Structure 1
Amino acid sequence: MISLTTRLTLLFILVSVAIFTALGLLIQHSIGQHFETQDYSELDDKLRVTANIVKNLQSHNALPAVESVIKNSVVDHDSIIIKIVSSSGDSLFSASAIALPYETDTLLREPGRPQRLEWHKGDVEYRGVAMALPEDQRNGQQLIISAAMETTRHTMFMHQFARKLLGLMLVATMLSALLGWWVSRQGLSPLRAMGSKAKSVTAKHLDQRLPVDAVPVELAALAIELNSMLDRLEESFNRITHFSSDIAHELRTPISNLVTQTQVSLSQQRSVEDYRDILASNLEELDRLSRMISDMLFLAKAENNIELPSSERFMLEFEIVKLFDFYEALAEEHNLTLCMQGSGELKGDRIMVDRAISNLLSNAIRHTPDGGSIDVDIEPKPGELLVHIRNTGEAIPAKELPYLFDRFYRCDQARCHTAHEGTGLGLSITQAIVKAHGGHIDVHSDLDKTCFTLVFPA
């Protein structure tokens, strides 16, 4: 896999080559245009001077006598070629044996209009201008004047210039490559710093965070998201760590009780009734272990299953009535009043919803003093369905409210008015079930009443 620094360097080189190539072509084209303009300007001047001389000579009918005047006035160096030809094709004056490939008929049809030419003979290149003079009214003669020059020196200059420019472009490209590598490496240094910081994040150092203020704006959003991810990982890791220690603590007590009672029972010979009592006590501990393991498995399934085991529409008040029937005997034993109001339709897993509400009713019965009441209100709202479960009794301390839904967390035992002790997973299971349905759970407790509110999407 090519590194990001290498990719940026290669892109920098490609952009530099493209710019240098375009710039070189533009320079060459501009110099070539300059030479062409300069050559034709010089040829036009020579052609115009020659035409003026010829007109004056024609007026005196003495062209052959002033060849020296044309050579001295026009042909000032060897590269200029001047020719004067009559319309019949006779050469009246020639400064060179080179023939100009002009179109005679076109020139004669448009007298006074110059025609520009470019051609080569062998390895020699030429550039020229030809023009026909108006017909002389006295002798009916029409002349064609042409001027040309050799441009080989320009071609040689352009070739040499192109080689030097190519060498300069290669050197500039190499320098650009080095500069691009340095710029890319410096620009990506915040990423390397983030990578180095990320390497320091381990199971023992989950509190490490990426420096948001020390990175460019373009990377700040990435750093923030990575820090958020680290926050979630730290929270999950801490929760798992605490859960593991809580499991060890919760399982140690019943297992220790079982081991102690078994050792005591085996320490001496006992009667059948004694063994029966010991086995009954062990059965209670085993039943507690079984319920705890079952709750833990259910909690893991509820938290990790994105899709519900089943989904159907049902009337929530019918399920609460069935739960009231189930808890009716226990409520009568403690002289508790069960009351329900409202109705609403819910879509979800019926068994999981029943268990969530059952856990809250079980907790309410356990923590409601004799003669108290438990009220369940179903409150439909736009877009959501609320289920309020209220019970009378002592208030839950405010400092304990944030931890109610933690696994194995138990409130002050003074609030419990029954000898039965739960596993500490009921509220965690309830919260997981509500979240699995896309909702959330809230709790509020005042001096004489505690209310749990389940919020389900309608």
Structure 2
Amino acid sequence: MKIRLRLTLLFTFLFAAILLAFALIINFSYSENREEKFYKRLQQRAITQANLLLDAGVHPSVLQLIYRNALNEEEVAVFDTAFNLIYHDGPDIDKVKETPQMMNNILHKGEIRFHINREQAVGFLYHHKGKTYIITAAAADEWGLRKLQNLQNTLIVGFIASIILTLVAGRFFSKKALSPVSDMIEKVEDITATNLHLRVPEGNGKDEIAELAITFNHMLNRLENSFEAQKQFVSNISHELRTPLATIITELELSTIKPRTAEDYKATIALALADARKLARLSNDLLDFAKASYDQAEITFKPLRVDELLLDARMQVIKANSNYQVSIEFKEEIENDELITLNGNEYLLKVAFANLMENGCKFSSNHQCKVTIHSTGKNITAHFSDTGIGIDLNELPHIFKAFYRGSNKTHAQGNGIGLSLTERIIKLHNGHIAVQSQLQKGTVFAVQLPHL
């Protein structure tokens, strides 16, 4: 069931319930009021007829004649306290059919009211000139009942007409209220991977539907940026893979054109092996880059000591490059292990730390990198500093972009993934990385991670 129909039916149901309750209250109130008024009128007419009999001395036959010639008039009977009948409008009809039990009930209560089929009946005590009489009267309120029936018919017709009108109006207003959603649906159907620049209309920018449209547009912005980044990433990967592959193919093809000496073949193999290692390193970096792009919920985290991670990363860097030197020191003595323990992924953090150490050694003439650990109340901060060639101030905003390589690329080989990978890993651990650098003086990377 569509929201528009559901809203229409819900609104109609609520309105029908309220209208029905209102109609029932009106009907009940009018019915009670009509009945109460007729009881009083019936009692008053019975008293008038008793006065004609007792005061004016009108003969009973005359009163009975008047009763027989009247239309829908009340039937009145007068008794003394001994239950002897003094007067009856229609003894042959006797609508009330007074019984001793009824008469006793009137004597004890003073007045009783009851129904005889469609007719209302009343019995009460009447005091006249020192004597007490029991009077009963019964009649049908034909005029009042007709008015009640007319009121009920009017309420029923009005209720049905109101429900129909509510359905029509509800459908119209729900369609009008949800028209921005229909516009959004039409616009969304036009959005594909090739035209992610399109956006859904945001309406007045104030109601909930506008908030939904704004949120959806923000999601489209992120998707568009992600697609663009992915396209750029694929383009860069293609370029990075094509260069060493083309070099390997060229070197091998040249070696097959004509016979060469063993030394020439060794040189060709060495060049091909170097390019193959570049490809292996690029493949490993891309794999780590992909792992760092996972959702945090899909990566295993556990408590880890930062100093142990840094020592393992240092060993990994020195093992791969024996001429590199990495020193690790604490800025202050830390007695509480929790201050240097964080919740993270061991493999990814080692990759991030090893990248920073390797960069520091790679771009320094003395191939040295110094790591300083500092712990505060909430975070662990590690500074990776070197005395290398530094980074140009204009290039600092771009160094964390994938495949970006600055002007210092001539000093060392690389593929431009390391720093981008490191930043993703740090952010994945709810951390922050910053850089300060001066040309020919060195660079300092500050990594801040929350501890337990």
For residues 53 and 446 of structure 1, do their structure 2 counterparts lie closer, same or farther at Cα, with a shift above 3 Å needed?
A: farther
Do the aligned residues in 2 keep the contact of 1:375 with 1:390 (CA within 8 Å)?
Answer: yes
Give the length in aligned residue pairs: 437
Q: Secondary structure at the match of 1:133?
A: strand
Residue of structure 2 in register with 1:18 after alignment? 17
Q: Secondary structure at the match of 1:208?
A: coil
For residues 372 and 298 of structure 1, do their structure 2 counterparts lie closer, same or farther at Cα, with a shift above 3 Å needed?
A: closer
User: TM-score normalized by structure 1?
Assistant: 0.84
Q: Secondary structure at the match of 2:279?
A: helix
Residue of structure 2 in register with 1:362 after alignment? 358
Residue of structure 2 in register with 1:118 after alignment? 115
Do the aligned residues in 1 keep the contact of 2:125 with 2:135 (CA within 8 Å)?
Answer: yes
1:161-180 superposed matches below 5 A: 161-180=151-170
Do the aligned residues in 2 keep the contact of 1:190 with 1:215 (CA within 8 Å)?
Answer: no
1:181-203: CA deviation from partner (whole Å, max 9, x where unpaired)? 11111111111122223223222
1:208-236: CA deviation from partner (whole Å, max 9, x where unpaired)? 33343535522233233222222221221
**Aligned equivalents of 1:117, 1:338: Cα separation in 2:** 108
**Aligned equivalents of 2:84, 2:127: Cα separation in 1:** 17
**Aligned equivalents of 1:44, 1:291: Cα separation in 2:** 111
4-13 or 387-396: bigger deviation: 387-396
Asked if residue 132 in structure 1 is aligned to residue 128 in structure 2, the reply is: no
Query: For 2:304, which of 287, 302, 313 is the aligned residue?
Result: 313
For residues 308 and 165 of structure 1, do their structure 2 counterparts lie closer, same or farther at Cα, with a shift above 3 Å needed?
A: closer
For residues 341 and 15 of structure 1, do their structure 2 counterparts lie closer, same or farther at Cα, with a shift above 3 Å needed?
A: closer
Residue of structure 1 in register with 2:379 after alignment? 384
Do the aligned residues in 2 keep the contact of 1:380 with 1:386 (CA within 8 Å)?
Answer: yes
Residue of structure 1 in register with 2:425 after alignment? 433
1:286-435 superposed matches below 5 A: 286-304=276-294, 306=296, 307-309=298-300, 311-314=302-305, 316=307, 319-320=310-311, 323=314, 327=318, 338=327, 340-342=329-331, 345-347=340-342, 348-368=344-364, 370=365, 374-413=369-408, 416-417=410-411, 420-435=412-427
Give the superposition deviation at 1:381.
1.1
1:140-182: CA deviation from partner (whole Å, max 9, x where unpaired)? x753223321235544554454345323322221121111111
Residue of structure 2 in register with 1:60 after alignment? none
Do the aligned residues in 1 keep the contact of 2:76 with 2:135 (CA within 8 Å)?
Answer: yes
Do the aligned residues in 2 keep the contact of 1:393 with 1:449 (CA within 8 Å)?
Answer: yes
Asked if residue 185 in structure 1 is aligned to residue 175 in structure 2, the reply is: yes
Give the superposition deviation at 1:389.
0.9
1:283-332: CA deviation from partner (whole Å, max 9, x where unpaired)? 11111111111111122123216354563433517834872795499696
Give the superposition deviation at 1:440.
2.5
**Aligned equivalents of 1:14, 1:318: Cα separation in 2:** 66
261-270 or 74-83: bigger deviation: 74-83
Give the superposition deviation at 1:253.
0.7
Do the aligned residues in 2 keep the contact of 1:367 with 1:416 (CA within 8 Å)?
Answer: no
**Aligned equivalents of 1:132, 1:305: Cα separation in 2:** 91
1:67-124: CA deviation from partner (whole Å, max 9, x where unpaired)? 53797699965422222233444433222223325521133346xx44323212xxxx
Do the aligned residues in 2 keep the contact of 1:337 with 1:374 (CA within 8 Å)?
Answer: yes
Look up the equivalent residue of 1:238 and give its one-letter code: E
**Aligned equivalents of 1:69, 1:309: Cα separation in 2:** 106
Do the aligned residues in 2 keep the contact of 1:50 with 1:70 (CA within 8 Å)?
Answer: no
Residue of structure 2 in register with 1:195 after alignment? 185
1:18-51: CA deviation from partner (whole Å, max 9, x where unpaired)? 1232232223223322321331232132133234
**Aligned equivalents of 1:92, 1:454: Cα separation in 2:** 115
**Aligned equivalents of 2:368, 2:279: Cα separation in 1:** 31
User: TM-score normalized by structure 2?
Assistant: 0.85
Do the aligned residues in 1 keep the contact of 2:382 with 2:448 (CA within 8 Å)?
Answer: yes
Residue of structure 1 in register with 2:88 after alignment? 94
Give the superposition deviation at 1:436.
3.4
Aligned alpha-carbon RMSD (Å): 3.3
279-288 or 11-20: bigger deviation: 11-20
Do the aligned residues in 2 keep the contact of 1:75 with 1:81 (CA within 8 Å)?
Answer: no
**Aligned equivalents of 1:79, 1:235: Cα separation in 2:** 91
Asked if residue 207 in structure 1 is aligned to residue 197 in structure 2, the reply is: yes
Q: Secondary structure at the match of 1:144?
A: strand
Q: Secondary structure at the match of 1:408?
A: coil
Do the aligned residues in 1 keep the contact of 2:79 with 2:134 (CA within 8 Å)?
Answer: yes
Give the superposition deviation at 1:3.
0.4
For residues 329 and 109 of structure 1, do their structure 2 counterparts lie closer, same or farther at Cα, with a shift above 3 Å needed?
A: closer
For residues 351 and 237 of structure 1, do their structure 2 counterparts lie closer, same or farther at Cα, with a shift above 3 Å needed?
A: same
444-453 or 241-250: bigger deviation: 444-453
192-201 or 232-241: bigger deviation: 192-201
**Aligned equivalents of 2:319, 2:133: Cα separation in 1:** 132
Residue of structure 2 in register with 1:144 after alignment? 134
For structure 2, list consecutive stretches of 5 or more residues without a partner in the other structure: none
**Aligned equivalents of 1:325, 1:290: Cα separation in 2:** 17
**Aligned equivalents of 1:273, 1:228: Cα separation in 2:** 61
**Aligned equivalents of 2:312, 2:123: Cα separation in 1:** 114
Asked if residue 451 in structure 1 is aligned to residue 444 in structure 2, the reply is: yes
Q: Secondary structure at the match of 1:379?
A: strand
**Aligned equivalents of 1:5, 1:339: Cα separation in 2:** 66
